[in-house]
Amino acid sequence: MELAMLAFERPAIDWHAFAPELVLLAVGSILTLIDIVYNERARRVMPALAAVGLLATLVPVLTLAVDGADRSMFDGAFVVDDMALTLKALFLISGFVVVLLSVDYIRDGDYHENEYYSLLLASLLGMVLIASSRDLITMFIALELLSIPAYMLAAWRKGGATSNEAGLKYYLMGVFASAIMLYGMSLIFGVSGSTQFDAIRVALDTGGDSAPMVTLGILFVLVGFGFKVSAVPFHTWAPDVYEGSPTPITAFLAVAAKAAGFVALLQLVFVAFSGRYDVVEPFFWIMAALTMTVGNLMALRQTNIVRMLAYSGVAQGGFMLAPFAVAGQATDSAIQAIVTYLIIYAFMNLGAFAVVLAVAKKTRSGEISSYAGLFSYAPGLAVAMTVFMAALAGIPPAGGWVAKLLVWRALLDASSVQGTVLAVVVAFNAVLAFSYYAKVLREMWMSDAPDGDTSPVSVSGTLTLALGLTVLATLAFGVFPQLAARFGDFSASFAL
């Protein structure tokens, strides 16, 4: 017994490095206790506590950034570096905006409010963990911590058939994708003998005799994450789930959950699989071209704005997948393009869903035709939506143009035929996407309000704050492109 105790060495824990996760866990636990112990009146403070808790979690993220030192725990399975801190901040700010979107929607709707914010923070905890994961087991656990609360949140409108369908479909497809991913991870572990990304990279570089097994394992893992980022042909769940879920959760799934999938892909492709770009690049070339093209073509046919934004999100995911297709040829440019796109995409998409929430309070409709004449009775919302549609289309001065420009630059920096051809596909799809964003703009600015109803839209203070933050960020990234690009450069140091 004594010998066993002597052989066990307690892992060293850097509490400062682990502070964001601990603060978020503490806030989520407090919210759960309030729900259990206190009465309904006390529970009304839960949205405010969730928002304050997310801002409080940003404090250790900022102190770690100021400190500037890279930190590692658990033999390299958990890493805190510039890349991780940038993405943790993105997840926390996105979560804060989602809380702002949720306050009135959840309180005024026919929803059970109490566990909502606890589940939201639990899912965010998984995302924050993913940003620091450098180990297959750590990443898978973080991914499931993200996903399981999200399955429940998608079905939060318990009395609605569409919400129940959304939750069930999301759950079944998510479990199927996780099983495929886990099988791929088991193959990679069998070849490499390790779950740590650095060791996997070394093993895959030297594992010539196991090349078929390595290829199969990598492809299974990438297919699993293809579901998480709703890439074609693994995207079919997204429109139905987005339409059936409560609108704030739709925004959460479309932005934060998708971003978490891309963060995991960043770490896998540029660290664990960095010696097998011969497998990774063709896979992403095909998936990026299909995803942006199919997403745009399907978005053209939509008359419901949530479904349009769902397919738009699929297409935007295709733009973000494109730099992975030149991961080994233009590594730094590819990382910068992906991270910058994730940051800008988060703000412009969250803002678009904020406008959808505000307009739906008056029109009780999600049809694009219900936006007719919006400028005549809600000019502020019309201007905000114009900023977000312009950003999604890549039109200056909204920030989307910076994201698309960096994608083109990464593809052209590769100086290869496949990179150049994919750059042409990206350019074609950018033009194609403008047509359905323009449809929304035409309704808002050039059509008359239905039935001549120009009564004003009531926008709550929390929704106004969310709109203000997202508009300001979207314009700031477009007017000061070096701001977003700096975060991409800031994060490129993690690649090997």
Average pLDDT over residues 384-400: 92
Cross-strand partners of 78: 73, 133
Q: For 39-53, what is each residue's pLDDT tens digit?
A: 666 667 888 899 999
pLDDT over 50 at 13, yes or no: yes
Structure-model confidence comparison of residues 456 and 145, the more confident one: 145
- Residues 333 and 406 sit within 8 Å (Cβ to Cβ): yes
Q: What is the pLDDT of residue 469?
A: 94
**HEC states along 110-142?**
CCCCCCHHHHHHHHHHHHHHHHHECEHHHHHHH
For residues 180 and 422, give the distance between their C-alpha atoms in angstroms, rounded to a whole number. 28
* C-beta neighbour count of 144 within 10 angstroms: 15
Q: What is the mean pLDDT of residues 5-16?
A: 64
Stretch 305-328: mean pLDDT: 92
| Per-residue confidence (pLDDT) for residue 269, from 0 to 100 | 92
Mean pLDDT of 155-161: 73
pLDDT at 488 over 70: no
Q: What is the pLDDT of residue 209?
A: 54
State mean pLDDT over 165-171: 83
Task: Report the pLDDT value the prediction gives residue 42, as an integer from 0 to 100.
Answer: 62
Assess whether pLDDT exceeds 80 at residue 197: yes
Render pLDDT for 55-90 as a digit per residue (tens, 0 to 9): 999 999 999 988 877 787 887 788 888 888 989 999
Mean pLDDT of the chain: 86
Is residue 25 exposed (0-12), middle (13-18) or buried (19+ Cβ within 10 Å)?
middle
Q: Summarize the confidence of residues 462-488 as an average pLDDT.
A: 87
Tens digits of residue pLDDT in 242-271: 888 888 888 998 898 899 999 999 999 998
Q: Is the pTM of this model over 0.95?
A: no
Residues 6+ apart with CB under 8 A from 30: 49, 53
Residue 180 or residue 6, greater confidence: 180
CA atoms of 416 and 452, how far apart (whole Å): 56
Q: How confident is the model at residue 341 (pLDDT cuts 50, 70, 90)?
A: very high
- For 284, residues 6+ apart whose C-beta sits below 8 A from its C-beta are 222, 269, 321, 322, 324, 325, 327
Q: How far apart are CA 359 and CA 364, in angstroms?
A: 8
User: Smallest Cα–Cα separation from 61: which of 92, 36, 33?
Assistant: 92
If one compares 484 and 64, the residue with the highest pLDDT of the two is 64
* Predicted local confidence at residue 412, as pLDDT: 92
Residue 361, SS3 per DSSP: helix
Query: What per-residue confidence (pLDDT) applies to 39?
Result: 64
pLDDT(9) > 80:
no
Percent of the chain's residues with pLDDT above 90: 43
Q: State yes or no: pLDDT of 496 exceeds 60.
A: no
Residue with tokens 């636990």: 29
Inform me whether the pLDDT recorded for 1 exceeds 50: no
pLDDT category, 291, cuts 50, 70, 90? very high
More confident residue, 487 or 226: 226
Over residues 307-334, mean pLDDT:
91
Quote the pLDDT of residue 157: 72
Q: Are 370 and 293 in contact, with CB atoms under 8 Å apart?
A: no
pLDDT for the residue numbered 427: 93
Query: Given a cut of 50, is residue 94 above it in pLDDT?
Result: yes
From CA 339, how far away is CA 332, in angstroms rounded?
11
